[in-house]
Amino acid sequence: MGHFKCIFFVATCFALPGIWRNAPASFEATDDAMAAVPASMMGVPRNSFASNASAAHTSNKTLIMASTVLSSPGYVVMTGAGSPLGASNIATRKSETRAVGDKKITANSASGPASNGATLPSSSPLILYTDVTSGPNSGGEGNNGTYLTIFGAHFGATRGTSTVTINGRAVAQYILWSDTKIGVQVGHVSSGPIVVSEGGLASNSDKTFTVRSGHIWFIGPGVDNSTPASCATMLAANSYSTPWGLTNHASHTESDYDMAKMRTPTVYEGCLPEGSTLVFLNGVNYPYFDGNGWHASLTVDDPSATSSSFLTFMARPGATAILGGEGWSDVGIRNKAEHTSYTVYSGLTLIGGETDGAGGSGLDAYIDDRVVGNTIECPACAGQAGAMGGATGTVALGNVITDVSVDTKHLPNGSNKQYHDVYFQGNGFEFGWNRIYNTGAYNGFQINEDGSTGFYNFAIHDNDIADVNGSGINLSDIDPSSGSVQIYNNIIHHTGVRVASDGGEGDPHSCIAVKGYGSATGVGRAEIYNNTMYDCSSYLNNNPSATAACAVLIYPNQLNVTTNLVNNIVSQPAYAGTSTQNVYICAGGSTIGTLSGSNNLWYSQRAPRSSGPATRYGTIANPRFVSTTDYHLQTGSPAIGAGIPFAGLTRDLDGTLRSIHPAIGAYEYSKSDSAGLPSPAEVAVTPAAVAPFFKGKHRVILLIALVSIILICIVRGIPAVRTGGSR
């Protein structure tokens, strides 16, 4: 045993210098997942921090031995009042290589609490939202009730043995399955939580489905030019296998359409009992007018709707169903906007056909409507409107708004400055997970300017907004003194492209504009946080003297309203006019409005005329995006772990859990965001890594230690051998 100990000590003497000499072999945990671990967490039992890494608390930071972290298979959960977020469960990252200064480490990948309190590993399915939240559990196709589309992440590319349950019971039919979207038919379930299970892991369960009464009806791709029968007769004849057909009258003159003689979508809408779902099957394509006189392919008028009994218009999951078309009806679907309707629109392609510059839209939604997973277009639309309209209580999730005002035959210079991709007016709305791109409209998302005190209690979040001529998001009338105004987790890029057809050089060309035209008198704060903005003002290439071209434009119209900028990234290319303008924050030549904030990251590839006041609310540094079209963060980005927690913000745009030290911008950092990162094997000790230690005074110290150990072995080892030999 004595000789064995000697050999062990000698080997250790050779190995330790290399371990401590190499940066990756140990690290000080300033990484966003490991930093500021409270002392109360030291020495806690299994399934907590200490069970997954050797830790020594030093100067309020933690020294983690890389050899232990690399071999740790479990994810780490920080709990308790001593954590930076109180008693919340905060999970670190598993098997993820990150940068800490000039060191690369492997820590834990995204894991953490679902909103229902369960702790989910990173690969667990995540439900973000659904198209419908209620419906019948019988009737329809195969008597299996309504269709349900689930949106989220980590569902798996194909279903395999994965399942969807509602209140613990499996759904009846799987129609569509991808990693981010699932379409099912609910079957005879009862009301309760929706859970996706994939690979043995269950999703969050905070999204629910409520069973309610209602009938399900179908429109198919077939043509039916017969005169409509009575509603009772048509309803009795309808089923999944015998859907209604539509006329193909094909006149460009609206007055030629007669609902008494033609089967248009609105003829059937007028027959639907309250609580009904009208399903459009694959291949439906109706660009024509409906004969109702509202210039639409489908006009919705539901005066008796309530929050528990309303109409739903949807495409069967995976189907392509089109209402509207360029050169035909002005609007795909128009809510007459005479009543609170609670109408649901899901999975449809809606095209505004206006060509005379007098408006047009793909969808005009109204009070408390729910708009999910639709594609909305309006190729030749202009005037005073938007390709999608919304009002108080409208919820718009996961829609694609594209091909807006791009028809150069009718709009050679894009739209006028009063036509936008999305145009909302009202309070209490939500606009999330939508994508706006390939447009010639002026603003991406426009809050109406109506001279009121302003709108409030709304959230614009997790959107990808690009290719707009004016501002990505324009807040014209807001009143945060009356309720929350929140803009977060958005990617806003390639905006401020050019002047509108009726505009001038003083018009805003920005990623976000806070105009403050409202008359609010109370003190309030608009919260703009964790957004990523890139290429906000390319109009400066055409007009270097444009004074309202910057990333964030804040007019001084409502000085009682403070724009609070926190955790945002702004990165501007080198414009022709960069050196003569402030490309970060501006006010169109006026004094900038009331501003506050911190932890923002600002960058311009060319030095701007001025960086103030941006530098008072953040740092000038290159955010190091993966590319100019991929705004995830590379290794070593100064945005990693440099943000501050924001109340209620738990996930990034990808659905990844936010760290206790969140990244600045819309994305958290993960190893998949950067190419060429080292594998755990790269931190192993090798002869080449140890060799540099054997120089100068280090060689003398090593030799002294080695001689000392050998002498100890000689003195203590011999008696041990003799004793062993006498037995």
- 336-362: per-residue pLDDT in tens? 878 788 999 999 999 998 877 778 999
Q: How far is CA 587 from CA 370, 380, 626, in A?
A: 35, 31, 31
Low-confidence ranges of the chain (pLDDT < 50): 1, 3-119, 675-699, 717-727
**What gap in Å lies between CA 191 and CA 652, rounded to an integer?**
30
CA distance 310 to 647: 34
Domains belonging to the chain, first-starting first, are: 2-117 (no CATH), 124-211 (2.60.40.10)
Task: Scan for tokens 């006019």, then name that residue.
Answer: 577
Q: Please give the span between the terminal C-alpha atoms of the chain, in angstroms, as a whole number.
A: 15
pLDDT score, position 448: 86
pLDDT computed for residue 516 by the predictor: 86
**539 SS3 class:** helix
How far is the C-alpha of 385 from the C-alpha of 255, rounded, in Å? 23
Say how far apart CA 727 and CA 723 lie, in whole Å.
7
- 502: its two tokens: 């009726």
Residue count of the chain: 727
Classify residue 292 as left (phi > 0), alpha (psi -120 to 50) or beta: alpha
The sign of the CA dihedral 488, 493, 497, 501 is negative
pLDDT tens per residue across span 615-659: 999 999 999 999 999 999 999 999 999 999 988 999 999 999 999
pTM score = 0.78
Contact 69, 52 (CB under 8 A): yes
- CA atoms of 34 and 572, how far apart (whole Å): 32
Give the span between the Cα atoms of 634 and 632, in whole angstroms. Answer: 7
Token representation of residue 142: 């195969």
Q: Cα–Cα distance between 311 and 305 in angstroms, integer?
A: 8
Average pLDDT score, the chain: 80
d(CA 192, CA 205): 9
Sequence-distant (≥ 6) Cβ neighbours of residue 504 within 8 angstroms: none
Residues 6+ apart with CB under 8 A from 235: 215, 217, 271, 273
The CA-atom distances, in angstroms, between 293 and each of 255, 304, 331 are 8, 21, 11
Residue 487, pLDDT score: 98
Place of tokens 């059937």: 268
Q: What is the pLDDT of residue 478?
A: 93
